[in-house]
């Protein structure tokens, strides 16, 4: 007879993690780990999650927001299916990163930190993706695209739209 797995809600999963943090000495020091877990579970951090963490861990919400907004790693808005990082490091900048960026902005109608209306892309800024020899460079998810022109960028975006 198959074993039926109990469905665990996002809130339950986060509460379980926070409970384990509470058993550690100085539980408030686990805030970053808790925020990581919350983002892993939910995809991004929103007000409801922050309030839950504040209540559960007895930490002021303002402090939690301060930490979440300080680190670029934490996302405060829903993320798109694909993450686009546009490199604005020196090598990319002198080789035309601004033109690439403007093409992406006008094609997707988003700015840094925003997600397209269809939820497909989130646009982010990067400072050197470690592929300066291919400048200008963007990264979509884990894949690097180099030697870009506005035309090439549009072609690449279209492959993700199919
Ligand atoms: S500056 Fe863009 S990859 Fe290094």
Query: Domain limits of the chain?
Result: 10-70, 82-161
Which tens digits make up the pLDDT trace of 76-132?
A: 888 999 999 999 999 999 999 999 999 999 999 999 989 999 999 999 999 999 999
Report the separation in Å between the CA atom of 138 and the middle of ligand 1, taken as the mean of its atom positions.
Answer: 9
Which tens digits make up the pLDDT trace of 32-74?
A: 999 999 999 888 999 999 999 999 999 999 999 999 999 988 9
What is the rounded end-to-end Cα distance, in angstroms, of the chain?
42
Say if ligand 1 is within 6 A of residue 97 CB: no
Q: Which residue of 132, 143, 144, 147 sits with most ligand 1 atoms within 8 Å of its CB, as the best mutation to test the pocket?
A: 132
CA distance 63 to 29: 12
Assess contact for 159 and 120: CB atoms under 8 A.
no
The superfamily in CATH containing domain 82-161 is: Glutaredoxin (3.40.30.10)
pTM for the whole structure: 0.73
């Amino acid at each position: 007879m198959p074993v039926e797995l109990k469905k665990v809600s996002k809130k339950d999963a986060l509460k379980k993690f926070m409970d384990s943090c509470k058993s550690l000495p100085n539980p408030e020091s686990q805030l970053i780990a808790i925020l990581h877990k919350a983002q892993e579970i939910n995809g991004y951090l929103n007000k409801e999650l922050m309030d839950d963490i504040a209540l559960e861990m007895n930490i002021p919400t303002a402090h939690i927001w301060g930490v979440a907004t300080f680190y670029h790693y934490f996302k405060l808005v829903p993320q798109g299916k694909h993450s686009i990082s546009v490199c604005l490091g020196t090598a990319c900048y002198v080789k035309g990163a601004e033109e690439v960026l403007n093409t992406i902005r006008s094609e997707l109608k988003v700015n840094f930190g925003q997600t397209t209306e269809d939820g497909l892309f989130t646009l982010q800024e990067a400072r050197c993706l470690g592929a300066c020899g291919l400048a200008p460079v963007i990264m979509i998810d884990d894949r690097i695209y180099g030697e870009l022109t506005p035309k090439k960028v549009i072609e690449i975006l279209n492959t993700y739209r199919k």
